[in-house]
Chain A
Amino acid sequence: MSTASGLSDQSRPSVHLAAVPPEARGYQGQRAGLVSRVLASAVDLVVVVGTVAIGYLVVSMVLFLWDPGHFHFPAPDRTWLLTAGGVVLFCYLSVSWLVNGRTWGDFLLGLRVVNYQGEPLRIAGAVARAALCVVFPIGILWVAVSRANRSVADVVLRTSVVYAWGP
């Protein structure tokens, strides 16, 4: 079926079709409020905590397999956990914003992170924003006060978190 392959090879316009309900269309492209962003961050935090927990289990399994006779669950202190959580969160946010423009929490709440041109973040922007969010997470609360629904990281890096229910 050469015709089918030939037709499928043709360039198609970069248009994504998304079923957005009428009541939500007016919000698409607007900066999200504090509640949505906190909920998305909570989901991301759950993802990070789950990742750290899985990592802890993997390390424990490796230690068990390495020396089953003297095995005991490792007891990392708070600094190690926070550091591991921070590293995982940094990697998770950077990769997610760079690849998809959104984390899993953003996807669940219908949000997307864009730069000052309304485009997806580039690698520098994604890394810087991830680092700023990890170091100063409380800056998200500035969204409630900001006239433009911007957090501290958004103000510093000229980024925005907008409603985007489309894929």
Chain B
Amino acid sequence: MADGGNDERMQENSKNPRPWPRQGPRAWQARRPRQRAQQAAESALAAADVAIGIGDGAVGFARSVFRLGRPLLDSLMSPLTSAARTAAPLADRAGQAWPQPWLRQAAVRGRQDREALTSAVAGIVLARVPGLTNALLNQIDLTSLVAERVDINAVAAQIDVDAIARRVDVIAILDRTDPDALTRYLVEELDLPAIIQSSTGSIMSDAVHDVRMQSISADERLSRAVDAMLLRRHPRRRAAPGAAGPTSASGTGTGAGTVRVIP
């Protein structure tokens, strides 16, 4: 568009050979500063157009050069790209993809240097990791950090207790215990002799129980008979001192400790 505007103005100038307009030299003298500024702007615009044209030509030339040299560049760069894409050993592919021996040798040396550098850096880093880890952990209160950041309940909810229980070796645990000491402890705590004695006494007292109950019944019958003969109207006062009463189910209060009744 800029080129089009300039062409029109050049055509007008070619039709009017005089540098001033038809109104005369005086009028042209009055308008001269403005004309000069306009010509300077048009000159700068033309210079920009020239620079753009030159740049366009340079780009076109570069494209042409790149287009012409691309096969050669591809032949040089293709081993690098193919080696990066595949994991095949470099030596196996070098004979096919590297036509230049010096490139192959350079690649091999570079690979060796890279591997040596990698191993050296890894060794240095790994040698510093324990110390750095300890120093880092010394600066951190891991317990409080876990308590604040970790949802223990959520973690515990994901624990398969049944699986853990299946992995527990109960036999090994029992092997570590002392059965004799455990038995003595249980006997002492349970007072097993007293229980056996009480059980034996209970079995033996089955017959005694009948005798006692029959004697109690005989006592009552005899008491009622005597009271009837003596024309007593009030029942006997059979509650002994310290007794809880005839209807009480526990606590006889007979002295030597409290007798608590087992139902």
- Nearest to B184 among chain A residues (CB) is A1
Question: In whole angstroms, how far apart are the Cα atoms of A120 and B208 in the complex?
Answer: 23
- Knowing A5-B188, A160-B240, say if A16 contacts B213 (CB, 8 Å): no
Q: Which chain B residues border A41 with CB–CB below 8 Å?
A: none
Contacting A at CB under 8 A, from B145-203, are 181-182, 184-185, 188-189, 198, 201-202
With A16-B259, A112-B254, A166-B259 as given contacts, are A35 and B247 in contact (CB-CB < 8 Å)?
Answer: no
A30-B243, A145-B226 known; A119+B261 contact, CB < 8 A: no
User: Which residue on chain B has the smallest CB distance to residue A27?
Assistant: B216
Contacting residues, chain A, for B220 (C-beta < 8 A): 33
Q: Residue A34 at the B interface, CB < 8 A?
A: yes
A3, B185: Cα distance in complex, Å? 8
Q: Which residues of B contact A167 (CB under 8 A)?
A: 201, 259
Name the one of B198, B208, B254 contacting A164, with C-beta atoms under 8 angstroms: B254
- B245 to chain A: which residues have CB within 8 Å? 29
Is A144 in contact with chain B by the CB < 8 A criterion? yes
Binds A, one of B89-97, B105-113, B231-239: B231-239
A68 within 8 A of B: no
- CB within 8 A of A114: which of B223, B234, B236, B240? B240
CA distance A166 to B256 in the complex (A): 10
Q: Is residue B71 within 8 Å, beta carbon to beta carbon, of the partner chain?
A: no
Q: Are A26 and B246 in contact (CB under 8 A)?
A: yes
Are A114 and B255 in contact (CB-based, < 8 A)? yes
CA distance A32 to B198 in the complex (A): 24
B262 and A17 contact, CB distance less than 8 A:
yes
Stretch in A7-15, A51-59, A71-79, A87-95 touching the partner: A7-15
Once the chains bind, are A27 and B255 in contact (CB under 8 Å)? no
A105 to chain B, nearest CB (A): 11
Return chain A residues, CB-CB under 8 Å to B198. Answer: 17, 19
Residue of A nearest to B256 (CB): A120
Whole-angstrom distance between the alpha carbons of A22 and B213 in the complex? 11
Is A109 an interface residue when CB atoms closer than 8 A count as contact? yes
The 8 A CB mask of A116-134 against B (1 = contact, 0 = none) is 1111100000000000000
B257 contacts partner chain A, Cβ-Cβ < 8 Å: yes
* B185, B209, B240, B243 — most chain A CB neighbours (10 Å): B240
B219 neighbours in A (Cβ, 8 Å): 32-36, 149
User: Judging by beta carbons under 8 Å apart, are A108 and B211 in contact?
Assistant: yes
Which residue from A39, A119, A166 sits with its C-beta under 8 Å from B215?
A39
> Could you tell me the distance between the alpha carbons of A28 and B247 in the complex, rounded to whole angstroms?
9
Contacts of B33 in A (CB 8 A): none
How far apart are the CA atoms of A6 and B189 in the complex, in Å? 10
| Pairs across A and B, CB under 8 Å, 23 listed | A1-B181, A15-B257, A16-B258, A16-B259, A18-B260, A26-B247, A26-B248, A28-B252, A28-B259, A30-B239, A32-B219, A36-B218, A101-B255, A114-B241, A118-B240, A118-B241, A119-B256, A145-B226, A149-B223, A160-B240, A162-B243, A164-B254, A167-B201
A29 touches B253 (CB 8 A): yes
A119 in contact with B242 (CB, 8 Å): yes
Q: Is B212 an interface residue (CB 8 A)?
A: yes
In order of increasing CB-CB distance, the 10 nearest A-B pairs are A118-B242, A33-B219, A29-B243, A166-B259, A4-B185, A35-B218, A29-B252, A14-B257, A119-B255, A36-B215
